Amino acid sequence: MKISKKTILNIVLILFVLSFFVTPLGYYGKLMLNRIFSFSPPVIEEAQRQRITDYDWQLKDAEWNFFNFERSKGKVVFINLWASWRLPSEAELASIQELYDNYKGKMDFYIITNENRPPVEAFMEKHEFTFPVTYLIIGEKMPIDASVVPSSYLLDKQGNIVVHKEGIADWSTRKFYSVLDELISE
């Protein structure tokens, strides 16, 4: 019995596709595909921007201490809602780390999760992320929608939402950096 080249090719293709579902190769492949297909986020037209008027909401820092978001009033603020168990969040966080490395000290970062500390700390250590983690207080009022994960917001110094992106984006692009530079210099 002779097996044709087409049959062998089909078997190899089926095994490759199956590997995405049953092996670690699939996990890393999906992670890579998420990163490849994430683009710089769109900027909201100035006339369409909504303003956050209520900065009075509570969060917890990495040491589990409460603090008020009002400390960021008058600053450029990047907010990202994420979860360590969500593959799209993991794909996006590498570009957020690059963004943080380039802009820490120039603006405020709120990389917010609603998870408990132990899995988040393990996730951060495994991926060598150093950006500050902020913990959401469930039931606390918020001026943004925390139900969509991942999602991100960029606020200017007046509290206007300059970028709102549901899903993942590539935050480490020249296009986005030029928007940040402009907002920071205002």
Judge if 82 and 172 occupy the same domain: yes
pTM of the model: 0.82
- 57 with 141, same domain: the answer is yes
Q: 78: burial class by Cβ within 10 Å (0-12, 13-18, 19+)?
A: buried
- Say if residue 129 is in the same domain as residue 61: yes
Please write the tens of the pLDDT for every residue from 77-128. 999 999 887 767 778 899 999 999 999 999 999 999 999 999 999 999 999 9
Look at residues 119, 98, 118, 117 and name the one whose alpha carbon lies nearest to residue 109. 98
Q: Is the distance from CB of 183 to CB of 76 less than 8 angstroms?
A: yes
**Domain range holding 58?**
40-185
Q: What pLDDT score does 108 carry?
A: 96
The pLDDT tens digits of the residues spanning 51-87 come to 998 888 899 998 889 999 999 999 999 999 998 877 6
Task: Domain count for the chain, please give it.
Answer: 2
CA dist., res. 182 & res. 186, Å (int): 6
